[in-house]
């Protein structure tokens, strides 16, 4: 991460998150599969060992998707009163699909923010 960044224009973290691209060059793919982070960028060679988003993306996704899906389900129940099986058919796939998509985006965004702000593990200065 100490390489010369003058070769790469600054990448917007939101754009990097939405495209799930490398936070430095914006061209390479960040994920190898659904949520597994690649070891390095295939385009610029950035080592992704610094990337540790932790549980932050999952917490954000639970709060956001839970609020949206439960709100829509309650509105549908009050206004349209559909049968219970229709709720299952509509809301469960919607919640799972939106959660998986938003989890990728939030994880990529938090990794891009870590790169942009040069975030590191906390250390105690004993000097």
> For residue 71, what are the domain limits?
13-116
Give me the torsion for CA of 87, 92, 95, 98, rounded to 10°: -110
Say if residues 30 and 108 touch (Cβ distance below 8 Å): yes
Q: Is the dihedral angle over the CA atoms 60, 18, 25, 45 positive or is it negative?
A: positive
Residue 8 within a domain: no
Residue 125 within a domain: no
Residue 122 within a domain: no
Residue 5 within a domain: no
Residue 93 within a domain: yes
Q: How many domains does the chain have?
A: 1
pLDDT of 15-69, one tens digit each?
Answer: 999 999 999 999 999 999 999 999 999 999 999 988 888 899 999 999 999 999 9
Instruction: Inform me whether the pLDDT recorded for 91 exceeds 60.
Output: yes
Residue 127 within a domain: no
Place of tokens 């994920």: 31
């Amino acid at each position: 991460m100490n390489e010369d960044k003058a070769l790469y224009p600054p990448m917007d973290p939101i754009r990097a998150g939405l495209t799930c691209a490398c936070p430095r060059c914006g061209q390479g793919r960040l994920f190898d599969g659904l949520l597994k982070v690649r070891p390095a960028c295939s385009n610029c060679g950035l080592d992704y060992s610094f990337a540790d988003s932790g549980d932050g993306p999952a917490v954000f996704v639970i709060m956001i998707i839970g609020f949206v899906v439960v709100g829509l389900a309650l509105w549908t129940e009050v206004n349209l009163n559909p049968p219970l099986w229709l709720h299952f058919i509509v809301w469960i796939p919607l919640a799972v699909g939106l959660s998986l998509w938003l989890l990728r985006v939030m994880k990529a965004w938090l990794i891009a923010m870590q790169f942009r702000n040069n975030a590191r593990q906390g250390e105690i200065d004993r000097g």
